A and B are shown apart, each in its own frame.
Chain A
Amino acid sequence: MAATASSSGGHERLRTGARAVRAVIVTCQKWVALGAADADSAGHNAADQRFGGTSAADQAALEWALRLGAARSEAVTVIALGPDEASKALRDAAAAGADRLLRVDSSTSIDSVDVAAAITSALQSLGAADVSFIVCGDYSLDRGSGSVPAFLAAMLGMAMALGAVGIDLADGTDVEVLRRLDGGRRERLRLHDSGVISVEGSTATLRRASLSGVLASKAKQIEMHTPTRSIDHVARATTMSTYRPRARQLAPPVGGNPLARLHALTSATHRSTHGETVVLDPQMAARRIVEALTVWGYLDGESGPAADAPTR
């Protein structure tokens, strides 16, 4: 099922008053330090860039941004939020082909809403009124909540398609995103000309940087941005605890003995009534399936089960 998501007024507001510049694809990378405590045991390398990096999802996001940039003939800007060590992620991105690098000087341990606010502020400082797509990883190396892309879409007033398991660039104008939904279902969204996309790591493998790309990346300028925008109008978590679903009250199981009650409680011996074997030509079979799903409550419909379906 395809739906069309389009930019809302917020993004249009961002464009208002800005001189039209060439559109840019933006990808956001979160550099995460790993094993810093171990590396510090000898009193050396307190902020150790050797043991940090970006997630597979962030790398996939970079790859998609580069593909989008090529398909749309747009420049790709990479934004990384973090300390100086995050520059390594930016240079790796430049080696792979990113055009512009921006580091938002901030701690990586801030709330997602603050990360998004900082990136929004950075985009505005770039004069990025013509940002077309923002591509983020669905998770960072420290397994964050994956909520930054949603906050970004909200703050920039852009359409969003999050948790992508597949992207079809088509002609580069409309981007089709296949999303993972609960219960193994999928949703297909079409983003027209702009939007925020977050991708899973399996969607793409970051291209291997060319030798000349690696060498050129060392001299590539990294622009700096210090976030100024403060976010004080959003709800914030005050306590953090493990999620516990609320208890539901159920009727006691019916049965003459404990085993029967256990069976009733667990449905262990219960046979589904949803199922039948029929022999039909394809057209009738499709109609029968729709009717059955409607009766079982999976589909909204008006027609009842076919009365003439032979049962075997």
Chain B
Amino acid sequence: MSETDFDVVVVGAGPAGSCAALSLAKAGHSVLLVERGPFAGSKNMYGGVVYPRILDALIPNWWEEAPIQRWVTRRQTMVMTPTQSLTIDYRSDTWAKPPYNGATAYRPDFDFWLAGKAEAAGAQLICSTTVTGLLRDGHGRTIGVRTDRPDGDITARLVIACDGVNSFLAKEAGLYRRDVDANSFTLGVKETIALPTDVINERFGVRGREGADIEIIGCTGDVNGGGFIYTNLDTIGVGVVLKLSKLGAQRQRPEEIIANLKAHPSVAPLVEGGEVKEYSAHLIPEAGYDMIPTLAGDGLLIAGDAAGLCLAAGIWLEGVNFALASGMYAGDAAADALRSDDTSAAGLAGYRQRLERTFVLKDHAKLRHIPHLVLGDRLQQEYPQMVANIVERMFRVDNPRPKPGIRRILTQERRHAGIRWRDLAKDTWTAMRGFG
């Protein structure tokens, strides 16, 4: 074996890539992890909350060493109109103790730490190296990758593409579905705003390493999407996720939409006095199960965002945990295929089977219609106003008038919002099927 020949090349040292490399290195295989940034995590951003419980299988007691900013103990869902907001606020002491639930972390810290684990297990990591294409034999089988370095070809029995959303390698291998277009993606944009730790604790009602995560619907105006606010130790992340096709059609700038969110009466007191330290943006595969590509080719697996594994299901907004899991299962399946000396698409079928047996594809399959519901016009443009008006009338004391019945309020506000019973029933059924 030459020094540029490996059992497996993993492209991209994000959560999926590092978990794949870690899993394979633990199984004793030679693994090269290739990262285009100057260090693992340098080019990555996300919504801010990671649910790393899947790491239990790879890194026991990971919480003792992972570079976590805060453990999320407050989870809020906010429905917003330009002048109103309704918040459901849940807080749990349990989430402040091992094994925890969600956590906030800076990706340049978290991904760097995770890639270090893969290195410690025996994987080789090279950074500042961009993979520019696949190497294939005369039968079209993937036999390695080409990089942008001089003499930069790497041969391997198997390539795992974890090169992120819009994966060029998956595209080159013809694994993406043809019906995936701009409607399947959202653009996530985020400001990281510095505030003193004490101020964050006071404004968000948390202490010590406790953190808050607020998910918002109805805050993005005419562009369908959602918003989020979460706490780090001495910064907060404020951002929006915007449906790409709508953003283009409305000709709006994402930073303007964030500015409007920050100016909302319910949000302004949280961000007041903060200094924007960072602005970042990233494409998100948001169409769920319906955009998941073919996951294996001859000599090739895809995982993480490259495989469209991101769950945008309203109350559940998750991506990193799916990347961690799919990377780990890709590594396990690759190890099996190497052991049986069959890295053809058929030999790698164990990867999809693993995903189907676990939450990765079970959740995506169960919630396959929810992303379309959540990003649909009714839930984005009509329901928030109707819900806010209903709650406002319920809580309004309008003496000398007697209190109206709730059924009457519901009926009047549905009619006022112009929502047909048929559509309401259809959406309720879709939600029940997904969430039920």
Question: Which residues does A use to contact B, with CB under 8 Å?
Answer: 41-42, 44-45, 50, 208-212, 214-216, 218
Contact = CB atoms under 8 A, between A and B. Distances in A.
Interface string B59-103: 000000001010000000000000000000000000000000000
Contacts of A45: 67, 109, 112
Contact of A41 (B147, B152, B234): B234
A50 B39 contact: yes
Closest 8 CB pairs of A and B: A210-B150, A211-B149, A211-B152, A44-B67, A210-B151, A50-B39, A214-B126, A215-B3
Contacts of B152: 210-211
Give the size range of B's interface with the partner: 20 to 34
Given A211-B154, A218-B124, A42 B67 contact: yes
B38 A214 contact: no
B133 interface: no
A42 B147 contact: no
A275 to B, nearest CB: 54
B204 interface: no
Given A42-B69, A50-B39, A215 B124 contact: yes
A55 to B, nearest CB: 16
A123 B147 CA distance: 37
- Interface of B (DSSP majority class): loop
Contact of A50 (B38, B151, B154): B38
Interface of B: 3-4, 32, 38-39, 42, 67, 69, 106, 108-109, 112-113, 124, 126, 129, 147, 149-154, 232-234
A211 B67 contact: no
Contact of A208 (B4, B126, B149, B233): B149
B143 to A, nearest CB: 16
A41 B69 CA distance: 10
Nearest to B70: A42
Given A41-B234, A208-B150, A216 B3 contact: yes
A53 B9 CA distance: 27
Given A50-B38, A50-B39, 15 more contacts: A42-B232, A50-B42, A50-B108, A50-B112, A208-B149, A210-B150, A211-B129, A211-B149, A211-B152, A212-B4, A212-B151, A214-B129, A214-B149, A215-B3, A215-B126
14 contacts: A42-B106, A42-B232, A42-B233, A44-B113, A50-B108, A208-B149, A209-B150, A211-B147, A211-B150, A211-B153, A212-B3, A212-B151, A214-B126, A215-B4
B84 to A, nearest CB: 36
B224 to A, nearest CB: 34
B33 to A, nearest CB: 12
- Interface of A (DSSP majority class): helix
A215 B6 CA distance: 12
Nearest to B41: A50
B277 to A, nearest CB: 9
Nearest to A53: B38
Contacts of B113: 44
A214 to B, nearest CB: 5
A239 to B, nearest CB: 35
A45 B153 CA distance: 33
B104 to A, nearest CB: 10
Contacts of A208: 149-150
B27 to A, nearest CB: 21
A36 to B, nearest CB: 14
A285 to B, nearest CB: 51
Nearest to B67: A44
Nearest to B109: A44
Given A211-B149, A211-B154, A41 B38 contact: no
A42 B109 CA distance: 10
A216 B106 CA distance: 31
Contacts of A210: 149-152
Nearest to B34: A211
A42 B112 CA distance: 14
Contacts of B234: 41
Given A45-B67, A45-B109, A50-B38, A209 B124 contact: no
